[in-house]
Structure 1
Amino acid sequence: MRDLRPDVPADTEGFARVRRLALPYILFTPESVRHVLTRSHPDAKFRSLVAEEDGEVIGTAQVALAHESTEPGQAYVNVHVHPERTGRGAGHLLVATAEEYLASLGATRLYSWVLDEPASVRFAERHGYRAGRPARFLRLDLAHGTLPPLPETPAGVELRTAADFAADPRPLFELDAETVADEPGEVTIAYSDYEAWLAETWEHPLLDLDLTVVAVVDGRPVAFSVAYSDGATRYFTAMTGTSRAHRGRGLAKLAKLHSLHRARAAGHTEAFTGNDAGNGPMIAINKWLGYEFCATEVRYVRELG
């Protein structure tokens, strides 16, 4: 078990491969793995850990303090092991190392996303974690499914892409900060560092500026659907939201529908998204768009000390 080396292709490729096999509903590439490790905010104390067997990466962990949380002492540890290499002790070693590290930083509550399937649940509970809020992964077949037709854009609303804000993305940062603060979940997030947002979010290698659609009113972004893509066939919605003053008008729904139409036209054949199980409005939008549930994750938590 050791820290991932971001400049070693075998490390980042191995890490991404394990994550894709263990969690096929989210996009991972060597570039995205390297980006998260090297661009995360210093206050997160982020580490990527790998477990190896005969020189092959078979287990991974991403470990960090929830530095943007409004409550101190919270942290994350997300562990995934190659599905054909479980039962070898890699997961246990990764969890133990991660917990020791986070405890040394003063973390008192650890959160971990766990797939809702028997082996993963047993593993989490055996290590002292208890179940919290569930979340759903959803999949949309862009190649063979049918998207709702594009409606007429409401008067006073303009649809743009994130590429239109390349010269000055600050308005998108402000919209992101407002919407993420209202997301349902166990950890309340507050964005305040624009430069960190630029480094971590705006410059993320999976962010597709041409597929990210923004609804604009009076020159200001008021709703958006943020798109990640692998540059080939797979698409993932990283965030969809609306500013508080413009909710209830269907603008996030409109932005996401346009984004999906653009993705299909660009040759993407599979779309994924994820929702907190309590986010009824967004789940309803995704089902209207044609998404189907494909897996459930549960946010497990462990109190330290």
Structure 2
Amino acid sequence: MTVLVRDLRSEARSDVEGYARVRHRSLPFMLFTADSVAYDLTHAPPEAHQRLLIAEADGEIIGAAQVGFAYDSPRPGQAYVNVYTDPAARLRGAGALLAAVAEEHLAANRAQKLFAWVLDEPGNRGFAERRGYHAGRSAHFLRLDLAHSTLPPREPLPPGVELRTAADFADDPRPLFELDAETMSDEPSEIDHEFTDYDAWLAETWRHPLLSQELTSVAVVDGRPVAFSAARTDGGARYGTVMTGTARGFRGRGLAKLAKNDSLHRARAAGFTEAFTGNDAGNGPMLAINKWFGYEICATEVHYARELG
């Protein structure tokens, strides 16, 4: 059986569906759809040099890779290569071929350091370490049984605070961009980001097909968004919060928890049965908040890195 690696064709439905299927089987705690895969590829900025690769065997897609540059990092040459293999098709060489093609592409575009998220399992970690990658930070995936859990009750809003949805900012989402940029800059990460491109944010975040503006809750003070919990859905029963944060001058007041609780209650009322999120393993405050909601850790990833000579 010969394994072949090639670029995903965004216009080919079988490609995007196969890519999404492999990603889902490899990481069932993250939300993907065929439409979101095609959207991510076609809306990636040129400077990201992004490629989505697929590995085929006998006409079946058994592996996938997400490859590109952290174009918004102030440090040049920071790149990522995330490789996924269908669990039912491991040990066929697909992962090694995907990694080799990805690394060659990044090196040709002058990458200086490669980063890869790897599930915290012996086989996956060994794969990365044999390729010269070294372990760094870790992050947890968390799951909440939204259909059967008991959510914390809604609490009275503090004086001067109101709750809105992202949809209420449809005419002018820039205040949400500014809040998102401020909170993202404080996220623990091994790659620094300068989140300054409003047009890129509109394309990659605001107009993303998985974003639910209706389920994204925003705490507002004097007309200004000061805390939020951004929600994504997959068109089925799965819901995820991809970012929850508070503006620096408003932290310590429980506003992010207030926004997330509002979003979770409305997601359950809308029929969603599973809730997912993710946290850096060192982000104690957010992990405590999610534990308060009833989330449980369901998997852990390790961020590996490799310097290129």
TM over 0.5: yes
Do the aligned residues in 2 keep the contact of 1:43 with 1:67 (CA within 8 Å)?
Answer: yes
Q: Counterparts of 1:71 and 1:147 in 2: how far apart (Å)?
A: 42
Q: Counterparts of 1:295 and 1:153 in 2: how far apart (Å)?
A: 34
User: Residue in 2 aligned with 1:28?
Assistant: 32
User: Residue in 2 aligned with 1:92?
Assistant: 96
The residue identity in structure 2 corresponding to 1:196 is A
- 1:45 and 2:88 are equivalent in the alignment: no
Structure 1 position 231, deviation (Å): 2.3
User: Residue in 2 aligned with 1:17?
Assistant: 21
1:8-30, CA deviations, whole angstroms, 9 ceiling, x for partnerless residues?
00000000000000000000100
Structure 1 position 49, deviation (Å): 0.4
Structure 1 position 230, deviation (Å): 1.1
Counterpart pick for 2:248 among 239, 244, 250: 244
The residue identity in structure 1 corresponding to 2:82 is N
User: Residue in 2 aligned with 1:146?
Assistant: 150
Report matched runs for 1:142-181 at 5 Å. 142-181=146-185
SS of the aligned residue for 2:245 comes to strand
Counterpart pick for 1:195 among 199, 203, 206: 199
SS of the aligned residue for 2:213 comes to coil
1:188-226, CA deviations, whole angstroms, 9 ceiling, x for partnerless residues?
111111111111111110000111000111111111000
Do the aligned residues in 2 keep the contact of 1:180 with 1:190 (CA within 8 Å)?
Answer: no
Q: Counterparts of 2:74 and 2:118 in 1: how far apart (Å)?
A: 23
Q: Counterparts of 1:261 and 1:246 in 2: how far apart (Å)?
A: 23
Counterpart pick for 1:220 among 210, 224, 228: 224
Q: Counterparts of 1:278 and 1:70 in 2: how far apart (Å)?
A: 23
After TM superposition, the runs of 4+ consecutive aligned structure 1 residues lying more than 4 A away are none
Counterpart pick for 2:238 among 221, 234, 239: 234
Q: Counterparts of 2:203 and 2:188 in 1: how far apart (Å)?
A: 25
Structure 1 position 69, deviation (Å): 1.1
Structure 1 position 70, deviation (Å): 2.0
- 1:101 and 2:82 are equivalent in the alignment: no
For structure 2, the 5+ residue unaligned runs are none
Do the aligned residues in 2 keep the contact of 1:232 with 1:267 (CA within 8 Å)?
Answer: no
Q: Counterparts of 1:69 and 1:282 in 2: how far apart (Å)?
A: 24
Q: Counterparts of 1:134 and 1:236 in 2: how far apart (Å)?
A: 19
Do the aligned residues in 2 keep the contact of 1:179 with 1:242 (CA within 8 Å)?
Answer: yes
Query: Over the residues paired in the alignment, what is the CA RMSD in angstroms?
Result: 0.7
Q: Counterparts of 1:223 and 1:70 in 2: how far apart (Å)?
A: 26
User: Residue in 2 aligned with 1:67?
Assistant: 71
1:37-92, CA deviations, whole angstroms, 9 ceiling, x for partnerless residues?
01112211111000101111110001010111121111111000000111111100
For structure 1, the 5+ residue unaligned runs are none
SS of the aligned residue for 2:135 comes to strand
- 1:271 and 2:304 are equivalent in the alignment: no
Which 10-residue stretch deviates more, 285-294 or 34-43?
Answer: 34-43
The residue identity in structure 2 corresponding to 1:184 is P
TM-score (normalizing by structure 1): 0.99
1:222-261, CA deviations, whole angstroms, 9 ceiling, x for partnerless residues?
1100000012210111100111111111101110010000
Q: Counterparts of 1:57 and 1:154 in 2: how far apart (Å)?
A: 52
The residue identity in structure 2 corresponding to 1:203 is R
TM-score (normalizing by structure 2): 0.98
- 1:296 and 2:293 are equivalent in the alignment: no
1:115-168, CA deviations, whole angstroms, 9 ceiling, x for partnerless residues?
001111111111111110000011000111110000011110110000101111
Percent identity, aligned pairs only, is 67
